[in-house]
Structure 1
Amino acid sequence: MSRAVQNLRGARAREIAARALAAVPLNYAVTSALTMLIARLLPGDPAQASIGATTLSFAIFAGLAMTAFAIRSVAKLWIGLVAAGLVAGAADWLLIAIGGRL
């Protein structure tokens, strides 16, 4: 087997590993931050808002997991997920700091 084919296989394996890490643990962190934010922003009783946000989180998680393998660039995937997680986390922190519902 040629050296070029071996290099290609190694690069492909690293790309798949990076996508799998983005699709599961990073996706879980982003989805949980978004779920907290949605629960705080939904109107109504806190328990109902929490249940609604949790139900919606299943669709968010599945959509982000599919996106992890559909997007062309692994770097753009990671940048997008990390940015979304940071923005949602900062918004959660800000809402708690100004007295939003827990």
Structure 2
Amino acid sequence: MKSKAAGLPLGYRLAVTSRCLAALVGGYLLAAMASVCMGLLLPMPKAEAVITGMMLSFLFYLVAILWSFACRTAAQAWLGILLPSAVLALINGLAYWMNTP
């Protein structure tokens, strides 16, 4: 008996694989950058800011996963995850550089 998966085009399979990687890897990157950003910038004691950032990072990860499968194309999914990650990384770098003695 022939499986239905064998009939799917290679382009479709690669698009789904790319979206899965965007959700897993890109979502982790976005969550990590958001967590660090909140830990550096929230106006509360550092320990509380870090805990708050870590808890909210799960929401960022969830939104990244939902975003990667809600987009029309895999490229749009990657762009929608990597662009905010790059902005957050820039903010993290500037915040760290400005607070360094």
Aligning the two structures, in what range does the TM-score lie when normalised by the shorter sequence?
Answer: 0.7 to 0.9
TM-score (norm 2): 0.86
Corresponding residue for residue 71 of structure 2: 71
**CA drift at 1:92:** 0.3
Unaligned stretches of 5+ residues in structure 2:
1-5
Secondary structure at 2:72 match in 1: coil
User: Cα offset for 1:43?
Assistant: 1.4
The TM-score normalised by the length of structure 1 is 0.85
- RMSD of the alignment, in Å? 1.6
Mapping for residues 21-100 of structure 1, pairs under 5 Å: 21-99=21-99
- The number of residues matched between the two structures is 95
Among all aligned residue pairs of Structure 1 and Structure 2, give the percentage whose two residues are the same amino acid: 24
Shift of 1:84: 1.0
CA distance in 2, matches of 1:9, 1:24: 23
C-alpha distance in structure 1 between counterparts of 2:73 and 2:32, whole Å:
24
Using the TM superposition, give the Cα deviation of residue 44 of structure 1 relative to its aligned residue in structure 2, in angstroms.
Answer: 1.1
Contiguous gaps of at least 5 residues in structure 1: none
Greater alpha carbon shift after TM alignment, 72-81 vs 14-23: 72-81
